[in-house]
Chain A
């Protein structure tokens, strides 16, 4: 962790170093595994994305190390973070082989669905209650919003509902839940929620990266829309997130 990983050192002669070398350094979690059975290429593409982003000098990335600096050390008490794809007609979780699992672990959280060794699985409400996650992320593969969960009497005892820690995942140039060129922003967003720091500087980072990626700087209103502020208005610590 002390020195940044060599970008083109003699000990690392391969043109595109495996992201594992970069991300698994120190206390960082395991890199995303290339799914063995019927896995989708998105995962493989995802790991390529980190390598690519890290190698672009203008990018605010720098991989996991930059993400980790300035975050409090949670030790062994990592909060459980469940990713749901966002459907209103079923609970589809990101299992242990999913990219979302990787993001959760990267940001310092714990995925309660890790034991399900697939990309995506359907669970029932009871399983959700049994896992009792502290944070729930609602993906952009469906219209589900935190208010739906806050209003469901069956879910009233859930830790994430009581603590108002259900969040709709942002949606910028692309959904932030699958791997994409906007992934480093997602990592910062998740890390801010997991550590309770509110991801300071995230809004500025979005402006900076969008200028690089798209050649345009989003306005304040557009940033609110990207970060799903209307949907997340009732969720804990969201008003000041990223500022």
Chain B
């Protein structure tokens, strides 16, 4: 008797938890966004920030200066929008890659996608092409990297997780070497400056143009991933089961990898290589709502957006000089990941 009851009870708690997460997270994201808009090196009173924001939609008496409006709407708002896009995109890519490769320790950075994308971007800078070419180059070489990893690690059926990671490291190292070659060849008084700055990765120069550059691929790829979220569940059963259930796993996997490459390209184009978000956030989300991708995908998106916005807000408020974003994501991400790994090695993947 107890055994037969246990199952539905667990299911009910899980559903309740899912519902809670899906209701609470949008609220959390909005709150994080408003707080991020409220703090910065140029001090604007929090009440003024709220009034400025409301003043855009409601006819409120204007109590703020032009500079305050410029800071909130022209400097902070695009930056917060960008950090949300980048964070959500990276996190959901991590979740998808972990499912497609059936491997808990992969992320865009570990699989070399980020390195491939940065090579494509650097190539576009060296050739003097515009920002559209930069995204396109990032996308092409990011996809190439991901396909290379996939081809080498799937040569003879399913492979142990570490082989995939190893393939990723090798592919990543190859593209990193190409990036080094290009920086070596680049004109030190012209291109090198912009390459180095771009590779370092920062949201300090967020503009609405950059939001558009990242927004189009991230939103398109993200929407595709969201649309395919229940199929990802089937895919993680393995190719044979997925085929039996009427899916075409090869085509689905391709679709997902293209979506991941698009999202990473958009992200790398505006903020360089940002590590750890794609690894840590999906695991946090999985600990919270479990491995069901129907819930996991939206939760990962929201959690990633909130996480990177918090990190970026810290980087721009710690001191007059900015700390590179990637430094802080690694400093926070690596220890968190170690703790997670230690605490819940079994639970995290038992139901996947």
Interface residues of A (CB under 8 A from B): 87, 89-91, 95, 113, 115-116, 118, 121-127, 129-130, 141-142, 153-157
Contacts and interface: CB of A to CB of B under 8 A. Distances in A.
B320 A90 contact: no
14 contacts: A113-B320, A115-B320, A116-B321, A122-B202, A123-B41, A123-B320, A124-B41, A124-B205, A125-B75, A125-B205, A126-B71, A126-B76, A130-B43, A157-B65
B75 A154 contact: yes
Q: Please give me the 4 A-B residue pairs with the lowest Cβ-Cβ distance, nearest first.
A: A121-B321, A154-B74, A157-B67, A126-B42
Contacts of B163: none
A127 B320 contact: yes
Given A90-B205, A153-B70, A122 B42 contact: no
Nearest to B322: A122
A154 to B, nearest CB: 4
B198 A89 contact: yes
A224 to B, nearest CB: 22
Interface residues on B, range: 20 to 34
Contacts of A157: 65-67, 70
B46 interface: no
A180 B63 CA distance: 50
Contacts of A155: 70
Contact of B75 (A90, A126, A141): A126
Contacts of A90: 197, 202, 204-205
B26 interface: no
Contact of A118 (B42, B65, B321, B322): B321
Contacts of B319: 116
Contact of B321 (A87, A122, A129, A141): A122
A153 B75 CA distance: 11
Interface of B: 40-43, 65-67, 70-71, 74-76, 79, 189, 193-194, 197-198, 202, 204-205, 316, 319-322
Given A95-B321, A121-B321, A129-B70, 18 more contacts: A87-B193, A89-B197, A89-B205, A121-B322, A122-B322, A124-B75, A125-B204, A126-B75, A127-B42, A129-B67, A129-B75, A141-B189, A141-B193, A154-B70, A154-B71, A154-B75, A156-B70, A157-B66
Nearest to B200: A122
Nearest to A95: B321
A91 B204 contact: yes
Nearest to A158: B67
A129 B66 CA distance: 12
Given A142-B193, A157-B70, A126 B41 contact: yes
B43 A124 contact: no
A124 B193 contact: no
Nearest to A130: B42
A123 B70 contact: no
Contacts of B75: 124-126, 129, 154
A87 B194 contact: yes
A153 B204 CA distance: 17
A129 B205 contact: no
A115 B189 CA distance: 28
A125 B66 CA distance: 15
Contacts of A130: 41-43
A161 to B, nearest CB: 11
B167 to A, nearest CB: 33
B204 A122 contact: yes
Nearest to B67: A157
A128 to B, nearest CB: 9
B198 A127 contact: no
A129 B42 contact: yes
B204 A124 contact: yes
A95 B321 CA distance: 9
Contacts of B316: 124, 126
